[in-house]
Structure 1
Amino acid sequence: MAITDRLLFLCAFAVTIIIIIICPASADWNILNQLRKTQTQTQRGAVSGGGSLKNFCESWRFNVELNNVRGFEVVPQECIDFIGKYMTSTQYKADCQRAVEECQLYLSSCCCTLKGDGKDAWIFDVDDTLISTVPYFKKHGFGGNKLNLTSLEGWMQKSEAPALEHTLRLFHEIKEKGFKVFLISTRRESLRDATVDNLIKEGYHGWSGLVLRDLEDENKHVKNYKAEARKRLVNEGYRIWGIIGDQWSSFDGSPSAKRTFKLPNSLYYIS
């Protein structure tokens, strides 16, 4: 082969290699690929190193808890296993327990000013606050599949959701302090019997009210529906000292409480 021909061959080969490097074969969309589009080579090294996916998923979960990540319909595909492991881990239990301990510290200081007139109130969410939907999501992709409300409500009708032990103890502690306990849930009114049966079976009893969604609440944002429920309590003369829930929509809007305590949940987002 002549020298000129060899040079032409080498140039063509080099161009082909460059094209392959710059334009890799298309693949399914994933978060890390999207990140790489806007990162420098140095930054790429940071996310492509060992444990980078775990780091990203932990960061995603953390920002869900901070309410920076909002309105997601599904857990990112790359993070499904990570979220599933977290929600069934001792770390999840420890995080919940820490929130409960902070609530107990608040209780130890606030209760000296209770009036004892039956108007001191405390609000709990229900799902993933008092009882857990993790067994359902364990069978349905740990949040990686878009929520099928019919399927979820069918599971709720069975009244098999287990209690969250840390909030079960806290629930009774708050009652013993003299608070009237109200439960405000996004569950529909049609699930009242199943919800009451489930709660009682798991050791919850003695609440003063259980608010579920009527037909007129169907099209309301959850934060508005829950704020309206709190407003009715305030109009009845109740003083709301605390709210415990796993979604930011349990706290948004006015009137609020003197303190709010959020439990971790990165399986779904309700606004």
Structure 2
Amino acid sequence: MGRNLGLLLGFCSLIVGVAVADWNILNQRMNKNGLNITLKNYCEAWRINVELHNIRRFEVVPEECTDYIGKYMTSTQYKVDSEKALEECFIYLSNNFELTGDGKDAWIFDVDDAILSTVPYFRKHTYGGEKFNITSFEEWVRERKAPVLEHTLNLFKDIKGKGIKIFLISSRGEHLREATTDNLFEVGCTGWSGLILRGNEDEGKTLQQYKAEKRKDLISKGYRVWGMVGGQWTSLLGLPKAMRTFKLPNALYYIP
């Protein structure tokens, strides 16, 4: 009994020692310029720099920050940040938009983390702490259970009510059309003019290239794209652009 207790205490001491060592390494990294930076400060700085597009092409959320990112993406602050971004859409439309009546006024939405939330999926995968697995993600998509982002749905309905045609451009593959359509209808996102998904001809293209080409296709057909809403910078960048772009917060993953 005494020997077992000793081994257990020794093992616990080793674990604590490793944790302290890791924390000391992190502290050394975070105490530059005399700043006493906490782990929360570090993770918030990481999240903000993802949103600023300073941090790019990350495969996973830093292990020490997964809990923080998870709490943020399920927090009131995330909802307030998103609602503020979309409030700017309402202001922009109120001040700048007049319906032409020719049926060529258009708006573009992403699907994932713009209309449908992938947070339930990432909750099962350590909030971005695991490398993205397309197979497991598509299995989740086929369940058709992604919840709607209510603030985006409100904007969607307002834009539709103004007579603007709405196009959804997603990085999802064409083979997920039925599941995606069912999920969108289930959450009340109906009345869009087109759902554009990746086809065989889009294989090998970056997200930025793919989305820019689809925008070019719409513009070549005479559409005036008044705005875009997306959760990935690579969905919004590239030419041609919309007249205005609006980025929703999302530090869970990065699609190049």
Distance in 1 of aligned mates of 2:244 and 2:21: 41
Name 1:177's counterpart in structure 2.
162
Maintained 8 Å contact 1:30/1:78: no
Distance in 2 of aligned mates of 1:35 and 1:116: 60
| Structure 1 residues 106 and 38: CA distance shift in structure 2, 3 A | closer
Maintained 8 Å contact 1:125/1:244: yes
Name 1:140's counterpart in structure 2.
125
Name 2:25's counterpart in structure 1.
33
Q: Which whole-Å deviations, capped at 9, do the CAs of 1:45-76 have from their partners, x for residues lacking one? A: 623xxxx0001100100010000010000000
Runs of 4+ in 1 over 4 A off after TM superposition: 25-32, 37-40
Name 1:248's counterpart in structure 2.
233
Name 1:208's counterpart in structure 2.
193
2:61 to 67, 75, 91: 75
Amino acid at match of 2:192: W
Maintained 8 Å contact 2:107/2:227: yes
| Structure 1 residues 29 and 203: CA distance shift in structure 2, 3 A | farther
Q: Secondary structure at the match of 2:97?
A: helix
2:97 to 105, 108, 111: 111
Q: Percent identity?
A: 58
Distance in 2 of aligned mates of 1:203 and 1:30: 47
| Structure 1 residues 28 and 188: CA distance shift in structure 2, 3 A | farther
| Structure 1 residues 57 and 200: CA distance shift in structure 2, 3 A | same
Name 2:79's counterpart in structure 1.
93
Maintained 8 Å contact 1:128/1:246: yes
- Structure 2, unpaired ranges of 5+: 1-16
Maintained 8 Å contact 1:181/1:209: yes
Q: CA deviation at 1:218?
A: 2.0
Maintained 8 Å contact 1:65/1:264: yes
Distance in 2 of aligned mates of 1:61 and 1:268: 11
Name 2:40's counterpart in structure 1.
54
Name 2:10's counterpart in structure 1.
none
Q: CA deviation at 1:33?
A: 2.6
Distance in 2 of aligned mates of 1:29 and 1:184: 46
Maintained 8 Å contact 2:108/2:229: yes
Q: Which whole-Å deviations, capped at 9, do the CAs of 1:118-176 have from their partners, x for residues lacking one? A: 00110000000001010011111100000111000000001000000000111010011
Maintained 8 Å contact 1:243/1:261: yes
2:105 to 102, 110, 120: 120
Name 2:6's counterpart in structure 1.
none
Amino acid at match of 1:46: N
Amino acid at match of 1:69: I
Name 1:63's counterpart in structure 2.
49
Name 1:238's counterpart in structure 2.
223
- Structure 1, unpaired ranges of 5+: 1-24
1:221 to 206, 211, 228: 206
Amino acid at match of 1:88: T
What is the RMSD computed on CA atoms of the aligned residues?
2.0
Question: How many residues align structurally?
Answer: 240
Amino acid at match of 1:127: D
Maintained 8 Å contact 1:126/1:183: yes
Distance in 2 of aligned mates of 1:92 and 1:266: 11
Maintained 8 Å contact 2:107/2:225: yes
Q: CA deviation at 1:236?
A: 0.3
